[in-house]
Structure 1
Amino acid sequence: MNESKGIPVYLDQTKRKFADLAAKKIDVTDWHPSNTPAQNLWRCFEALQDIKNLLQGSSILSSEDEYRRRVKILITSLYSLCLAIRDLLNYLNSGTEMKSRFNEKEKAEINKLLSEFSRVVPLDKTSAIRGIRDQLSAHIDKLMPYEAQSIFDKAQNHEVGACLHQCIITLNQVLTLDVFGWTTDDCPEGYFRLMAIEPWLVTWKLENGEPPIFAGVHIADSPKKLIREACEQIIRNSQWMFRPEDSRIVLLQEKATETSKPLQQHNH
């Protein structure tokens, strides 16, 4: 009989989610960021969750005024998502720990991604999204109705939708990078778990202050799957924001109209 060698690998059957600010209690099985890129990605997920909730039920809206009010409310969370994506890209582009993670070609691609996102989704003082968020969505400044409306009119529904879909495109490009670290708390005292390379969820033991001792490994679902699922729901529920001729993302499993076009070609 041959002697078995190596370390056993188990399938992680725990249904995990991201630590949720809105939950009554954060579960020990929840994913927590273990490095800066993951922390920024978690911020993106929090904003996506808010946007997803705000878009739920939009199919029952019956007038343009109701749609516009939904957009007005949504812009605060959209702006938070834009900031989180920008911070994530900036860190990937220039963060200290990132300098040794990418080769020159990858660095050029990240820089290009940052430049494209900044061009399509401006966040400076000229940004319509920022102006609406600062003066109308987060709170209402001391404005007369016609003044407030002139600010809101700077971003029509399809323009806000284009910004939202560009965020999703950028996020999905970033998710291809293997730079995100995650940890969970569902292990005995004196141990810790870390997913530094997907799909390996590794358990380590700390003993008398010594370096970590390898204690086990599980194959786990990628936390990125939760982000992709949220993006898909947002795409499905945001189609009303666009005019028939507008570029936007259409899910492959959905029946696309003849005039639907991918957002990679920016016409606005």
Structure 2
Amino acid sequence: MPIYPDTHARGIVDSLEAPSKSKDWHPANAMAIKLWQCLEALRDIDIALENAGLQKNATKKKRQLKQFSVQLHSLAKCVVRLCDQIVGDPDARRWLKDGTTAQVSKIKTEFSDLIPINHKGELSVFRDQLGGHIDAKLSPWSAEEILSREAISSFGKWLHICIHALLDLMKLDVYSWSVHAETPGQVRLMTIEPFLITFEVDEEIKCIVALHLSNRPPRQAIVDVIEKVVKESQWMFKPGEPRIRSLKVDEPDAWNTFSGSRSAWETGSEGGAT
């Protein structure tokens, strides 16, 4: 069967679009849905960083960051849920090499140690009492106490830790995607990038109708957003603080660069990720 180029410049469907009218990629399994949720959080962060970066007044910028705690907390929780889905998904256990889900569990544990998102963690307290809404018991003195913990100064580091873990999880071949099929009785699926397969279906798949090679696979669309967020967030760091300055390609077999990175994030050496 000949392979044709897929010439459409596809992104990944946005939650604010009507999915039935979109020609973009749609998540087609539970792990892709969890990854799409991470993308939705990143899209909100992208807009928040654009707005905060334009502020010249220090107080107004800090107020923007107060609201940013909501998007940052959402992204961190989405990364945790993605880890849980991969570890518990029977398809992932079948598709991945032995030991891979154990590494994902390790990533989740180290990630949860680095970002304080439990109910008493600094990011959760900040979001719950200042960022997400004004807490009923909040006073100027309690706000001062919360701000004295300097959670805001860690927002950039926590954001880049989220990105580091997410980029590693994205390397796993467990995500399925679909695009709209204009011909009735057909479905179009991508289970292995960059191959987009068109199937003829009745109640079950009958046969392969066409095979296309995507020029912009779904995960690349997420990387594009991440690159923008990394660039826009550099102002959040002081000189010498650990951060991701740019993305680089890892060795093919070295998918898990997050495990063991805790000391780098905590001691101040600058980080990098794929």
* Structure-1-length-normalised TM-score: 0.87
Structure 2 vs 1, CA of residues 265 and 210 (structure 1 numbering), >3 Å: closer, same or farther? closer
User: Which residue is 1:144 aligned to?
Assistant: 139
Where 1:265 maps in the other structure, the secondary structure is: helix
Unaligned 5+ segments in structure 1 are 1-6, 254-261
CA contact 1:204–1:216 (8 Å) conserved in 2: yes
Counterpart pick for 2:128 among 127, 134, 140: 134
Cα displacement (A) at 1:26:
5.8
Counterpart pick for 1:166 among 144, 152, 161: 161
CA distance in structure 2 between the aligned counterparts of 1:153 and 1:182, rounded to whole angstroms: 45
1:105 and 2:99 are equivalent in the alignment: yes
**What does the per-residue CA deviation read over 1:60-85, in whole Å, with 9 as the maximum and x for residues that have no partner?**
32233222112111111111111111
Cα displacement (A) at 1:155:
3.9
Structure 2 vs 1, CA of residues 75 and 159 (structure 1 numbering), >3 Å: closer, same or farther? same
User: Which residue is 2:110 aligned to?
Assistant: 116
CA distance in structure 2 between the aligned counterparts of 1:92 and 1:252, rounded to whole angstroms: 24
Counterpart pick for 2:189 among 194, 204, 212: 194
Structure 2 vs 1, CA of residues 215 and 50 (structure 1 numbering), >3 Å: closer, same or farther? same
Q: Which amino acid aligns with 2:121?
A: S
Structure 2 vs 1, CA of residues 241 and 216 (structure 1 numbering), >3 Å: closer, same or farther? same
CA contact 1:246–1:267 (8 Å) conserved in 2: no
1:9 and 2:3 are equivalent in the alignment: yes
User: Which residue is 1:236 aligned to?
Assistant: 231
CA contact 2:123–2:151 (8 Å) conserved in 1: no
Where 1:166 maps in the other structure, the secondary structure is: helix
* CA RMSD in angstroms, aligned pairs only: 2.1
CA distance in structure 2 between the aligned counterparts of 1:26 and 1:79, rounded to whole angstroms: 30
Q: Choose 1 or 2 for highest CA Rg.
A: 1
1:87 and 2:63 are equivalent in the alignment: no
Q: Which amino acid aligns with 1:154?
A: R
Q: Which amino acid aligns with 1:160?
A: F
Structure 2 vs 1, CA of residues 155 and 231 (structure 1 numbering), >3 Å: closer, same or farther? farther
User: % of aligned pairs identical?
Assistant: 30
